[in-house]
């Protein structure tokens, strides 16, 4: 009987019942107990305000720093604008980076009036660079897009005196610009020129997988089975393996015109892919490069990229 009473008492929950009020006992909270005011009512607990939360920094000297303030209008240095001296000379069109290293080591280059022989020295914004008695000024970055015609080779000069793409952009700017990648002599379409070496490396490096879209015309019809082979990958004559990102046979072309998108930067890669399938390419045209298109750009003409296009390429 005694045990039964115990179990009955335990089944009663202390919370949610009125028996607690009738006992006359008040519940004591273990933490954050409020103080009673003159009326006997409990006040809300007061917490000590942190200095940064309340703005009272002077109440906590621990967080006060003796820091020297810079005058207004004196910006912090931008280290991102520093550039290696050999690259600075190369960008200015003086010579290549390797040749610039030789000039630096021989003491022929001065920065702010003092000879610099240290390889890897960085030029800061505002520094004055001198070489051969004159002041070297970094060239303005130029970005020129050409719609290349047939029978022009992609090279700076040709000992056989053939037509080069450089003659087509000779009047585009006074700065010396270079082609980004190559298009062979019989291939037409988009070709980018720039003196921005960093961007040129980025657009040609396999890591960034820059997309190129080509319009291919073959002598014989292409089968859908061969389209699937291009997508799954083909082995080239040199042992290399490459596959297309997208392939589509164009309508009303009797299966002789194909659109193919790739990101490989290998030389003559599209022609070699079709040759691996036993197809001779009659006509090859690059219609898109890194998102740039031939819209409003006639064959043989060029234009300068807009600021938005340049920013887009740098964000790839």
Give the position of tokens 């450089």: 166
Fold of 211-289: Pseudouridine synthase (3.30.2350)
pLDDT at 256: 97
CA distance 128 to 109: 11
pLDDT at 11: 46
Q: Assess whether the region 79-136 and the region 211-289 belong to the same CATH fold.
A: no
pLDDT at 225: 97
pLDDT at 216: 98
Spell out the domain ranges in the chain. Answer: 79-136, 143-206+295-314, 211-289
Contact 136, 116 (CB under 8 A): no
Q: Is 245 exposed, middle or buried (0-12, 13-18, 19+ CB in 10 A)?
A: middle
- H or E, element range at 97: helix 97-105
pLDDT at 56: 45
Structure tokens at 175: 């700065």
Pairing of strands 122-123, 109-111: unpaired
pLDDT at 54: 42
Sign of CA dihedral 186, 192, 196, 198: negative
CA distance 130 to 13: 90
The single residue of 127, 184, 252, 285 carrying the catalytic annotation is 184
Using alpha carbons, select from 106, 188, 174, 190 the residue that is nearest to residue 141.
174
| Annotation marks residue 184 as catalytic | yes
Which residues of the chain fall below pLDDT 50? 1-25, 46-80
pLDDT at 85: 92
pLDDT at 218: 97
CA distance 119 to 105: 7
pLDDT at 94: 84
Residues 73-83, buried b or exposed e (16+ Cβ, 10 A)?
A: eeeeeeeeeee
CA distance 144 to 256: 32
Residues 6+ apart with CB under 8 A from 17: none
For the chain, percent helix, then strand, then coil, each to nearest 5? 25, 20, 50
pLDDT at 187: 97
> Which stretches does DSSP call E strand in the chain?
83-84, 109-111, 114-115, 122-123, 129-131, 134-136, 143-148, 178-179, 188-194, 212-218, 234-235, 241-242, 246-249, 257-262, 281-289, 292-293, 302-304
Domain 143-206+295-314 architecture? 2-Layer Sandwich (3.30)
pTM exceeding the 0.75 threshold for the entire prediction: no
pLDDT at 67: 42
Fold of 79-136: 3.10.290
């Amino acid at each position: 009987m005694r045990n039964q009473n115990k179990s009955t008492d335990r089944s009663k929950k202390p919370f949610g019942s009125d028996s607690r009020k009738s006992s006359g006992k008040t519940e004591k909270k273990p933490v954050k107990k409020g103080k009673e005011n003159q009326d006997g009512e409990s006040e809300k607990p007061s917490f000590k305000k942190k200095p940064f939360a309340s703005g009272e920094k002077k109440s906590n000297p621990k967080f006060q720093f003796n820091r020297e303030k810079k005058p207004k209008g004196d910006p912090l240095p931008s280290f991102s604008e520093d550039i290696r001296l050999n690259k600075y000379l190369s960008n200015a069109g003086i010579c290549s980076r390797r040749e610039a290293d030789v000039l630096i080591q021989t003491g022929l280059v001065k920065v702010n009036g003092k000879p610099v022989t240290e390889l890897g020295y960085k030029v800061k914004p505002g520094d004055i660079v001198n070489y051969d008695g004159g002041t070297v000024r970094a060239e303005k970055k130029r970005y020129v897009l050409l719609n290349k015609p047939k029978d022009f080779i992609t090279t700076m000069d040709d000992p056989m005196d053939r037509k080069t793409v450089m003659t087509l952009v000779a009047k585009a700017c006074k700065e010396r610009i270079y082609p980004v990648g190559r298009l062979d002599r019989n291939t037409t379409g988009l070709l980018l020129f720039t003196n921005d070496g960093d961007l040129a490396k980025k657009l040609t490096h396999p890591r960034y997988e820059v997309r190129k879209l080509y319009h291919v015309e073959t002598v014989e019809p292409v089968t859908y089975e061969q389209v699937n082979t291009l997508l799954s990958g083909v082995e080239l004559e040199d042992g290399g393996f490459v596959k297309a990102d997208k392939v589509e046979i164009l309508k009303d072309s009797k299966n002789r015109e194909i659109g193919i998108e790739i990101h490989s930067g290998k030389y003559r890669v599209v022609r070699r892919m079709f040759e691996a399938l036993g197809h001779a390419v009659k006509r090859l045209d690059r219609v898109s490069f890194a998102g740039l298109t031939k819209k409003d750009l006639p064959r043989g003409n060029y234009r300068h990229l807009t600021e938005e296009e340049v920013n887009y390429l740098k964000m790839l």
